[in-house]
């Protein structure tokens, strides 16, 4: 039965690849899982040698091929457009948006196993896909869910470390502190101290990564419960999948909130390698810092308002619009409010992107979720109005490269609708999800033997002299 389903899915995918030739390279080794092996670790063990060979061949055959010219603007402009990282788990197209191992978000929604027929993808399935490049069966996803649940218990000192902070500390500070406290259990650090051979680095990295992914929801949920629900902890429920369990530990058990959490965790997981959090995690891990240290560093980048904190900023900004103008705001009032924000030297949160040049497909799938489940919610209607009002204004500014909404423009109103109203907490949810993408790539970083990251920097004087010489 599983075999026949797999074969038919495989042929659907093959058709897609044939219809869209530009995708063939990104889905070169994407397959539907045909093996009945339920163990992710042994699947990876099988895949790693072939991918190591592939990288060796790329190095020896194409090592000297140029990938573009580096300009002064790139060096002083945040390295935009400069290709400089190997990141296997996902690839971002400026117009089309993210593909996870070659699959777009709508394709993931169709192909990855769900908790119920036609439901949102299970994040464990995405984790399997990111790690192996293969779409797992429901049985494999269930086995991975079970493995993650078995790793989910958090040592007591983690709660104590968080409790040492004032309860008013920002939720991201509390969350990162919890992740740092988890670091004492790192298998990679212990193995390194004992002198592990470099060919085996990926194995303790895998152990740390899976444990970290398993444990971040409970750490995150504790931060939420401590800050907003008198510190009453809700334990893991062994009957629930990863996304539903996270919602449950936060205190939300409704089936729609469970579906939202599955979708949320899936779509925020990975956005190729150059975004601030992923790049930071990858950079820190390149020094052979273990996954806990690397991911905690990544979270500190995610906590910045131009990156993950934008999801908090969006809901706070939307609520400030409502406070000032009421829920039934007219288009002209909304335009005035956007201009007021811009004229006071602030950004309009949730709009723009460093790479994307169209509406973020992560925004679109959240919009579809809202149209299905909460079409009459006033804040959703305000978000829809902003979709009409903001892009022309940002375009009028003349300097914004992408006036369209990103993932953060939509997530807050969905969470708010289901009762998760505390905007300052939102970036923690993003962080839980991002553990899946960053840790998946860290395993491959070690499996492929990627080196210490160390780009060259220059001074303004160096630039002036270099440019005068080459003029
Ligand atoms: N509102 C106002 N100004 C903007 C916006 C915006 N939403 N987006 C870009 N600009 C400005 C930007 O500040 C820059 O101005 P200046 O030259 O005076 O410094 C100018 O437009 C050119 O910026 P871009 O090249 O279009 O964008 P860049 O790649 O530098 O930055 C973001 C990308 C995402 C940081 C930027 O669009 C932004 O600040 N957006 C709002 C914050 C946000 O939503 N961040 C979340 C991104 C997604 N995520 O989850 O991480
Ligand atoms: C992300 O998900 O990391 C953001 O969209 C930012 C980015 O890709 O640069």
Please write the tens of the pLDDT for every residue from 262-275: 999 999 999 999 99
Q: Across the chain, which distance is largest between two alpha carbons, in Å?
A: 69
pLDDT at residue number 348? 98
Q: Which of 80, 94, 270, 276 to mutate to test the pocket of ligand 2 (most atoms within 8 A of CB)?
A: 276
Whether the CB of 362 sits within 6 Å of ligand 2: no
| Ligand 2 near 275 CB (within 6 A) | yes
In angstroms, the CA 280 to CA 298 distance is 5
Q: What is the pLDDT of residue 37?
A: 84
**Whether the CB of 271 sits within 6 Å of ligand 2:** yes
- Identify the pLDDT of residue 33: 62
Which residues of the chain fall short of a pLDDT of 70? 1-36
- Cα atoms in the 13 Å half-sphere on the side-chain side of 4: 1
The Cα–Cα gap between 462 and 457 comes to 10
Nearest ligand by distance to the CA of 408: 1
Q: Please say if 360 is a catalytic residue.
A: no
Q: Which residue's CA is minimally distant from atom 3 of ligand 1?
A: 347
Rounded CA separation 470/190 (Å): 51
Q: Nearest ligand to the C-alpha of residue 309?
A: 1
Which of 290, 408, 410, 445 is an active site residue?
Answer: 408
* Helix (H/G/I), strand (E/B), else coil: 307: coil
**CB contact set of 12 (below 8 Å; sequence gap of 6+):** none
User: Which H or E run contains 71?
Assistant: none
Token pair 């026949």 in the structure block, residue: 4
Q: Determine the atom of ligand 2 nearest the C-alpha atom of 272.
A: 8
> Which protein residues are within 6 Å of ligand 1, measured from CB?
306-308, 310, 342, 347-354, 394, 399-402, 406-408
Distance in Å, CA 275 to ligand 2 centroid: 5
Reported residue count of the chain is 471
- Tell me how far CA of residue 268 lies from CA of 124, 364, 455, in angstroms: 13, 13, 28
- Give me 456's structure tokens: 């060259």
What's the pLDDT tens digit per position in 326-385? Answer: 988 999 999 999 999 999 999 999 999 999 999 999 999 999 999 999 999 999 999 999
Residue 327, pLDDT score = 85
Known active-site residue 157 = no
From 93, 353, 410, 445, active-site residue: 353
């Amino acid at each position: 039965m599983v075999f026949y389903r797999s074969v038919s899915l495989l042929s659907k995918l093959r058709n897609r690849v044939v219809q869209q030739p530009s995708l063939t390279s990104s889905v070169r080794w994407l397959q539907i899982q045909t093996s009945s092996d339920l163990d992710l670790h042994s699947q990876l063990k099988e895949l790693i040698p072939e991918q190591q060979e592939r990288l060796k061949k790329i190095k020896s055959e194409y090592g000297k091929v140029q990938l573009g010219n580096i300009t002064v603007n790139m060096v002083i402009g945040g390295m935009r457009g400069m290709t400089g990282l190997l990141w296997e788990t996902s690839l971002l197209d400026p117009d089309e948006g993210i593909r996870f191992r070659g699959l777009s978000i709508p394709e993931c929604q169709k192909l990855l196993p769900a908790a119920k027929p036609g439901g949102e993808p299970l994040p464990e399935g995405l984790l399997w896909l990111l790690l192996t490049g293969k779409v797992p069966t429901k049985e494999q996803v269930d086995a991975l869910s079970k493995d993650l649940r078995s790793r989910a218990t958090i040592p007591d000192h983690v709660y104590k470390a968080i409790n040492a902070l004032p309860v008013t500390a920002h939720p991201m500070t509390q969350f990162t502190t919890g992740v740092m406290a988890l670091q004492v259990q790192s298998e990679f650090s212990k193995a390194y101290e004992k002198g592990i051979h470099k060919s085996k680095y990926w194995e303790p990295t895998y152990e740390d990564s899976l444990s970290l992914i398993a444990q971040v929801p409970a750490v995150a949920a504790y931060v939420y419960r401590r800050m907003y629900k008198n510190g009453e902890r809700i334990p893991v429920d062994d009957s629930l999948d990863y996304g539903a369990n996270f919602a449950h530990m936060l205190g939300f058990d409704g089936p729609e909130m469970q579906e939202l959490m599955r979708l949320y965790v899936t779509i925020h997981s990975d956005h190729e390698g150059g975004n601030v959090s992923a790049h930071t995690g990858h950079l820190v891990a390149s020094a052979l810092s273990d996954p806990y240290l690397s991911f905690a560093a990544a979270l500190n980048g995610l906590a910045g308002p131009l990156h993950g904190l934008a999801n908090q900023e969006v809901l706070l900004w939307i609520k400030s619009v409502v406070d000032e103008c009421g829920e039934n705001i007219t288009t002209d009032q909304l335009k005035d409010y956007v201009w007021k924000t811009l004229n006071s030297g602030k950004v309009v949160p949730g709009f723009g992107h460093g790479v994307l040049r169209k509406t973020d497909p992560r925004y679109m799938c959240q919009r579809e979720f809202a149209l299905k489940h909460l079409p009459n919610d006033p804040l959703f209607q305000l978000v829809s109005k902003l979709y009409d009002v903001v892009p022309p204004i940002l375009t009028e500014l003349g300097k914004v490269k992408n006036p369209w909404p990103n993932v953060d423009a939509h997530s807050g109103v969905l969470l708010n609708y289901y009762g998760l109203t505390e905007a300052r907490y939102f970036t923690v949810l993003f962080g839980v999800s991002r553990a899946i993408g960053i840790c998946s790539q860290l395993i491959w970083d070690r499996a492929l033997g990627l080196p210490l990251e160390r780009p060259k920097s220059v001074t303004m004087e160096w630039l002036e002299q270099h440019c005068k010489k080459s003029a």
